[in-house]
Each structure stands twice: as structure tokens, then as C-alpha cells.
Amino acid sequence: MRGSDSVPIAVPFGQAFPERALARVLDELAAIANGCVILQLLTEDRRHFSVTRVHSYHAEKEDALRKRFEMGAVRALETDEALNLALTSRKPCIRTRTGQGPRSESASTPLGGASTSSVLVIPLQEDERVLGAVTLLRCDPTASEFDEGDVSRAQGLAEYVTLALMSTQLWQASRRDLAEFDQMSTRLELLAGLSKDFAEATSDYFLLLKLIARRLSEVLGELCVLRALSDDGLRFEDGAIQHADPEIATSVVSWMGQPKSENGGIACSAVSSGRSLFLPRFTRADWMRELPRFVTVLERLDAASAMMVPLLCREKAVGVVTLVRSANAKPYTQDDLKLVEAIADHAALAMSIARSYRAERAARQEALKLHDLLEKSERGHDLRPWQVANTRWQPQALSATRRVRWPWPLALAT
């Protein structure tokens, strides 16, 4: 702080400290100007700025001033010569209506007007980084112009503005980090629950497909179409559809069971490349180009956002999931895509396990069938005298036959 040039001010602390402190300091600056004060912040490219706050000493004029200065609009720094000069030189800049002042007398600013007698621009900087500026407008034509005393007091308060801005940025960053942490925790719990549900359903392959489609539709909505690839990877065979409207779900059944070459389009591109296709804005032109056969269905759904995620297990595609939202819903985001990809990994593993179970059961049933046929064949061709007709051979029958003692006289006579 500057010491003698700084103006003591009671800064409120607490949960809303940054915003309350900033509002308090801007009110003090508006009192110095006896008019209004505008907070202008630079954008990331450092070549543009926007008006973020407007405070007036006369509260009834604030709404009109906000409209006049176009709050939130981004403008080029070159359009405001006084602001540009203050930020470049990192020194206060004064523009007076008479063209005379202790700083850049020739500087002009679009913030002034016919009723503005004097303009004072104070740069805001933290260490070597310039954040923006506060512009004080003395709007009373009969009032005196800004002098060195006003500049000194405004500079002292500008340091509080910089402190409040830095605190606001840190507070917002902490809120974002907490929100991301909460979102990550929620999604981890969701993935753990889905993984458990998928694992429990691996004994029934078709039930698993329906479960995957239903949970994806519940989590991300609205329409979910899951298509599983055949073992040779040339055809979409099994699948599941989930939508709140049964009629829409029924009309989408035509997507199932189509050869990849016939179905074509973006879903097959996702399967072939092994990469997701993200279409946050899905227009009618996209329908006609990518899915011409299903334009009627998409029009009925009013599709506006879509994504296709391949189901990969050990780098082999086992299917593809298509998610579609209507124009009434919020478009899909990159976070939604990442979540679907994580769920797709668990779903693909569960599908692979379920397929293995299904193949094992089919092989077991075939082996039992062949075993029964072999037994029948053996019984039909068995001519051993100790075998009872139409009965299964038993080792005990052979043992009993070997214990029979034939009478020698009868044997010699024969």
C-alpha cells in the first residue's frame, strides 16, 4: 500500500468478502468523482476490454449509465485512447473538457460526453500484470476538474479495487475447483454403481444391452440407441433402444440389424476409427447428409445434439452407442462426452464378458447334445451277448458274465 496516499476503508470480510469489498470501494470512488465510476477489465488477449461494473454517486442514474456504457460488451482497446494510454504507461490519465490537465491533455475517451467535465483513468495492476482500469467521470458541467488530490485519493482506492479483484478471482477459482471436485465425486459414484449393475447383468446378454441403454438415457438423455456388432464386425445385430416416448423408440427399431455398408453414416465412422463423434449442434443438413434414411425419425424427435461413442474392449469394437437430444434440451458438452466414454468402457467390458458366457453356454449345450447322440449310436450298434437290448451297458454286467461256470460235459457234447 502507499501509506499516506492510501485512504483507510473498512473492508468487510466473510463469505461474500470480494463482491462486498469491491462494491464498497467503487462507491467511494464514485463519491470522489461526484459522478460515476466504471470498472474496465482487459480480456485474455490484452487487446480488448469490457465494462464489468458501473457505480454512480446518484443511484437513480445507474441503470441508464449501464445501458449507455454497454456493460459486458467487448471492445478494442484502440477505441478508447485515454484508457489505452493509461494502461500502456501504467500511470493515471486525465482528460478535461477544456483540453488541459496534469496528464495526457490530448487523450480522448468515448466514455465522456457533453455533460462530462473531467475524466480520470487509473490503471489497475498487480505486480507487473495490468488487470484493467477504473475510470472516474465527473458529470456535473459546473463542477471543478480532477486535480492532484483527487488523483492521489483515487490511486489509493484503486489498490483496494485490485485487491478485491484478485480476491474475487481466487474465490471464483476455488468455487470452480470445488464444483469440479463435486462433479468428479458424483461421476465416480455413478461409474461405480453402473459398473456393479453391468457386472450383475452379464449372465443375460440381452438384458445387459437393455440395461446399458436405459441407464445412459437416464443419465444423459434423451434417446439412446445401442447397437452391438457381430463377431465378424460386418453387421449390427443385437441392440437396445431407450426413450421416454414408446412410439419414437419403436420407430428407431429400423436402425437395428443393418449391415455396416448399408447403414453407413457417422455411426459407422465412429466404429471404424475407434473414436467418438461429437455433434453438439446437429442440424437438418447433417441429418440429410449422414442419416438420410432416418430423417423422418429425427424430425419427429427434433434432434439438435448428438454423439456417437464406440464400445471398445481390448481395442476391438463390440458396438456403438448413439445419444440424441432434442432442441428443447441443453446441447451435449465435452464433459458429457467424457462421461459417456467412461461408461462405454465399462459397458464394452461387460458386453465382452456376457458374450463369453453366452458362447460358453452355447458350446456346453452343443457338447451335451453330441454326447447324447453318441450314446444313442453306441446303444444301437452294441451286439455283445451280455448286453440287455435297449438298455445302457453297465460294467457290472460284464463282471457277472465272467463269473458263470459252464458244465464241461455239456460243453464237450456241443
Q: pLDDT, tens digit, for every residue of 222-273?
A: 889 898 888 777 777 778 888 888 877 777 776 554 555 444 556 677 777 7
Residue ending a domain, among 155, 173, 191, is 173
Assess if residue 4 is contained within a domain: no
Q: Are 96 and 117 in contact (CB under 8 A)?
A: yes
Sign of CA dihedral 219, 220, 224, 227: negative
Q: Tell me: do 140 and 217 sit in the same domain.
A: no
Candidate from 31-35, 150-154, 176-180, 292-296 with smallest mean pLDDT: 292-296
Helices (H) and strands (E) in the chain, counts: 13, 11
**What is the percentage of the chain residues whose pLDDT exceeds 70?**
77
Q: Are 116 and 139 in contact (CB under 8 A)?
A: yes
Residue ending a domain, among 312, 340, 358, is 358
Q: pLDDT class for 78, splitting at 50, 70, 90?
A: confident
Q: Tell me: do 207 and 335 sit in the same domain.
A: yes
Given phi > 0 = left and psi -120 to 50 = alpha, else beta, which region is 348? alpha
Q: Which three cell numbers stand for residue 324?
A: 440424441
Q: Domain tally for the chain?
A: 2
- pLDDT for the residue 412: 47
**What is the percentage of the chain residues whose pLDDT exceeds 90?**
13
Containing domain of residue 287, as a range?
201-358
Q: Tell me: do 59 and 98 sit in the same domain.
A: yes
263 to each of 97, 150, 266, 294, how far by Cα in Å?
A: 72, 74, 9, 10
47: DSSP letter: S
Helix 148-200 and helix 334-381, axial crossing angle in degrees, nearest 10 = 10
What would the mean pLDDT of 365-386 be, rounded to a whole number?
76
Candidate from 62-76, 95-109, 147-161 with smallest mean pLDDT: 95-109
Q: Tell me: do 166 and 27 sit in the same domain.
A: yes
What would the mean pLDDT of 366-390 be, rounded to a whole number?
71
Which is it for strands 74-76 and 48-56: parallel, antiparallel or unpaired?
antiparallel
Round to whole Å and give the CA distance between 255 and 138: 69
Most confident region among 35-49, 99-113, 248-262, 370-384 by mean pLDDT: 35-49
Q: What b/e string do you get for 6-22 counting C-beta neighbours within 10 Å, with b at 16 or more?
A: bbeeeeeeeeeebeebb
A 10 A CB-CB count for 177 gives 10
Q: Which three cell numbers stand for residue 264?
A: 453407413
Round to whole Å and give the CA distance between 363 and 365: 5
Residue written as cell 451277448? 385
Helix 148-200 and helix 17-33, axial crossing angle in degrees, nearest 10 = 160
Candidate from 53-62, 141-150, 176-185, 402-411 with smallest mean pLDDT: 402-411
A 10 A CB-CB count for 309 gives 26
Q: Which three cell numbers stand for residue 154?
A: 483515487
- pLDDT for the residue 395: 52
- pLDDT for the residue 340: 92
DSSP E strand stretches across 230-299: 236-242, 277-279
Q: Are 182 and 190 in contact (CB under 8 A)?
A: no
Assess if residue 8 is contained within a domain: no
Q: Tell me: do 94 and 168 sit in the same domain.
A: yes
Assess if residue 181 is contained within a domain: no
> Is the model's pLDDT at 4 over the cut of 60?
no
Q: Tell me: do 354 and 223 sit in the same domain.
A: yes
Round to whole Å and give the CA distance between 141 and 146: 12
